[in-house]
Structure 1
Amino acid sequence: MPSEGIKVVSENRKAFHDYFIEDRLEAGIILTGTEIKSIRNGRVNLKDSYAHLDNGEIWVYQMHISPYEQGNRFNHDPLRPRKLLLHRSEISKLVGKIQQQGLTLIPTKMYLKKGLAKVELGVAQGKKNYDKRQALAEKESKRDIERALKDRNRS
């Protein structure tokens, strides 16, 4: 994905810790006026959010978009379900993957692309506790190697 005209607003780092992300897909999202203003200010939290199929449409739940400070009575509910914009063929392809046991849709990133809000969905499979420990051990060993190389280059 080229980085021209893309401003990452929020990333779901917890998703990469809790899930194996097998496939990624870009989707548009339906928002109200004050929601897009809050997104442009970077007031989005994807931590506990997930996507689900309802009546042939994909919706995002538990995505927290903070109320806009100057929005007064026109503000939105921060945790309301939001519809994602995908082509019918993309939805049917996702449904085929979701039908497999253990796969789910997780928003991994929200960004602005040419002024429009986009959500990156990941088709994910849950990790077991030992997978999480193994990933942390690999990360720690990688950090130790980097430190050793850095100290070696100084000498």
Structure 2
Amino acid sequence: MKKNSKKKKYYLTICKNKNSYFNYFIKEKYECGLSLKGWEIKSIRSRRTNIHNSYIFIREGNAYIVGVSIRPLYNTSLSSESYKDKRNIQLLLHKKEINYLLGKISREGYSLIALSLILKKSWCKIIIGLAKGKKNIDKRICEKNKEWRITKNRIFKNSFKN
């Protein structure tokens, strides 16, 4: 007889890009690795990073992420010239995935954005999204639906108390 086992969360979320769901429609999500240096992974594990203004571009068959802010630890012996706060970090994706994403970007007008940075087991990975930008009317409709859900939950909560 099989036990009713629940799936455990085996990753740790380092940082999220919360504005991405407000500004974009996310069509697909991909999980990919990062090509990092030693001091960068130490800083990421101590949560000294930000992916808020980052975006992804594809050049010469490789995917890169730009705008990831990784601050070094205080106790590192790095000089100010030996690290860059915001450098192009290569993403580790399969060639088929890169070609598929490149086709979507060039033909259908999608964008690649960073959604969240996670530590999965001992590996640092980033979840990227194939996204289409929202217009102002779409943002207003989403905000209206969110407010209605909150109000509806309050009404139901108060009606069951009586």
Taking structure 2 as the reference length, the TM-score comes to 0.89
Partner of 1:47, secondary structure, is coil
TM-superposed CA distance for 1:3, in Å, is 4.9
In structure 2, distance between residues paired with 1:4 and 1:90: 26
* Gaps in structure 1 of 5+ consecutive residues: none
Residues 45-80 of structure 1 deviation map (CA, whole Å, 9 limit, x = unaligned): 111110000111000011112222221316632211
Say which SS state the counterpart of residue 58 (structure 1) adopts.
strand
Equivalent positions of 1:52-71 (< 5 A) are 52-71=57-76
Alignment of 1:75-154 (within 5 A): 76-154=83-161
- TM-score, structure 1 length as denominator? 0.93
In structure 2, stretches of 5+ residues that fail to align are 1-6
Describe the superposition over 1:91-133 as per-residue Cα deviations: whole angstroms up to 9, x where unpaired: 1111121122420100101100111000111000000011111
Q: Which residue of 2 aligns with 1:46?
A: 51
Which AA in structure 2 matches 1:16?
Answer: Y
Aligned length: 154
* % identical aligned pairs: 34
When residues 36 and 13 of structure 1 are mapped into structure 2, their CA distance, relative to the original with a 3 A threshold, is same
Over the aligned positions, Cα root-mean-square deviation in angstroms equals 1.5
The structure 1 segments of at least 4 consecutive aligned residues displaced by more than 3 Å after TM superposition are none
